[in-house]
Amino acid sequence: MEEKISALVEAFVQKTIELNLIETSDHIYVRNQVLGLLQQASFDVNAVEDFPEFKELDLPDILDALLSAAVETNVVEDILDEKEILSSKIMDVCLPLPSRVNALFYEKYQTAPEAATDYFYRLSQDINYIQTKRIAKNIHYKTPSPYGALDITINLSKPEKDPEQIKRERAMKQNVSYPKCLLCAENEGYVGRIGHPARSNHRIIEVPLEGEPWFFQYSPYVYYNEHSIIFAREHRPMKIDRGSFARLTAFVEKFPHYFIGSNADLPIVGGSILSHDHYQGGRYTFAMTEADEEFSFTLDQFASVEAHIVKWPLSVIRLRSENREELVNAGESILNKWQSYSDADAGIFAYTDDTPHNTITPIARKRDEKFELDLVLRNNRTSDEHPLGIFHPHADVHHIKKENIGLIEVMGLAVLPPRLKDEIETIKKYLLGESVNVAEYHQDWVQSIVERNANVTNENVDQLLEDELGKKFTRVLEDAGVYKTDDKGRAAFKRFLAYGNEAK
């Protein structure tokens, strides 16, 4: 085992040199640091030639092999968090301190914003903070819809917790409050513990927004190109207000090649983390971005701001202007109006007693030298018929998607549960005439597919099921729209727009 570990450590060192993470002159230091983490007191130089296959491995595969060796030699137990902590520590040996990463980022920013983000994205991948090997397992494709080509992703990247991991998490007293949450700046360099991910190899970039300290990082499990997270230094709840619009547009002014958006700030229509103010951004064009503008309207108080309704299943107001401050003011005006707006005929009520229901999912970008701000109207009211949310995926699509419709889904990218991978394979076999058991919650859907498709073959079944999933996700988005795209829904939308403005 000593010989194998020596060969793996040398392969690790050489790979980090190839990736420009370290200099050749660093190799003895890095070797010794990794040996120490693996509790190896010596190094067998001759063993390197006995395992030539290790030289061909990618860095994530070398790390996996080192972790397997650490389990065999009882350095760590074979549970997820212990292995992640060790893996993160090993990669941290090759990383500069946060101050140096920030300095390099802003040196490259002087050349171009793209050069800065290219550097940091590549670094985050090379140091295995972005889990490229795991992300490669995801199923992803595009599918047509009446609103444009939607993205469908079946998320297979996050490792499942084994029974021992779950047992330990339950046994531990959950009274540790540092870091306060997964988004806090205090995660940078945090070693990790059972139930809290290892972040030794985590680096964040300072990006002040509107005079406030904010930070920029990439998501460990990116759902799209350069999927990034921008978060406040202060641990405070999500809040959509004028400051949100100002910070979003300030960010795209600094990084015009990125979009940035925020989840809504209310349960049901908000994202999974409402306890820490944060946004998501990246270098990707979603279907909503390319959707047609259905009609325009005027904002009497904001002459420099163009205003449009987007042809999209959710209710989207698109504002565009060269004047960032006026655009922010217009966004604030619409937000204030929406937060207090009710329309019984459309099933929209701003409050139940003192509980607010109306909020906005905002997205900002720069296009053709103009600032663009998309305001997606949201309402989180529930009813006896729809206890999870009136403007939330309804019960007949829960077999595909039951979770909140957050920012990423709003823009047209479905993040679907991993169970669907095997369930779709079973459905495929059923459609091809094999005797299999289809999950009960899929049976109505599968029967409708059978009734609408008389000739299912090996050649067309994959495309057929991809299209059918796309249709279901389209329904998910339509359920989340506060104003439907039919004549009645558009008339109700125009009533809101006319509330203080003249609709065209």
CA distances, 153 to each of 132, 158, 269, 426 (Å): 15, 13, 20, 18
Alpha-carbon gap, residue 483 to 315, rounded angstroms = 6
Q: Which residues have C-beta within 8 Å of that of residue 284, sequence separation ≥ 6? A: 224, 225, 226, 227, 259
The interaxial angle of helices 461-480 and 419-431, nearest 10 deg, is 130
Domains in the chain, ordered, with CATH?
A: 2-75 (no CATH), 132-413+491-498 (3.30.428), 418-480 (no CATH)
Q: What is the pLDDT of residue 383?
A: 95
Residue 173 — pLDDT band, cuts 50, 70, 90? Answer: low
Q: What is the pTM of this model?
A: 0.93
Residue-wise pLDDT tens digits, 82-135:
999 999 999 999 999 999 999 999 999 999 999 999 999 999 999 999 999 999
pLDDT at 160 over 80: no
What is the pLDDT, as a whole number, of residue 242? Answer: 97
User: Sorting pLDDT into bands at 50, 70 and 90, what band is 504?
Assistant: very low
How far is C-alpha 408 from the chain's CA centre?
Answer: 6
Mean pLDDT to the nearest integer, 5-18: 94
Task: State the chain's mean pLDDT as an integer.
Answer: 94
What CA–CA distance (Å, rounded) separates 469 from 145? 11
Question: What mean pLDDT is predicted for residues 466-473?
Answer: 96
φ and ψ of 390, to 5 deg: -70, -40
53 vs 16 pLDDT, higher one:
16
**pLDDT at position 499:** 87
- Examine the pLDDT at 423 and tell me if it is beyond 80: yes
Of the chain, the end-to-end C-alpha distance in Å amounts to 76
> Is residue 198 helix, strand or coil?
coil
Query: What per-residue confidence (pLDDT) applies to 161?
Result: 60
Residue 503 pLDDT exceeds 60: no
Dihedral over Cα of 318, 324, 325, 328: its sign: positive
Give me the mean pLDDT over the 191-200 stretch.
Answer: 92
Query: Is the pLDDT at 214 greater than 90, yes or no?
Result: yes
DSSP 346-410: GTB-SEETTEE-EEEEEEEEEETTEEEEEEEEEE----SS-TT-TTS--GGGTTT--S---HHHH
pLDDT value of position 340: 96
Share of the chain above pLDDT 90, in %: 88
Give the mean pLDDT of 50-79. Answer: 92
Q: Reply yes or no on whether the pLDDT at 177 is more than 90.
A: no
Question: pLDDT-derived band of residue 479, with 50, 70 and 90 as boundaries?
Answer: very high
Q: What is the pLDDT of residues 430-463, one digit of tens each?
A: 999 999 999 999 999 999 999 999 899 999 999 9
Which pLDDT belongs to residue 154? 95
- The radius of gyration of the chain from alpha carbons, rounded to an integer in Å, stands at 25
Model confidence at 187: pLDDT above 90: yes
Residue 397 in this model has a pLDDT that exceeds 60: yes
- pLDDT given for residue 51 in this prediction: 83
Q: Which two tokens stand for residue 430?
A: 């059923």
pLDDT value of position 500: 67
Tell me: pLDDT of 425 over 80. Answer: yes
What mean pLDDT is predicted for residues 263-273? 91
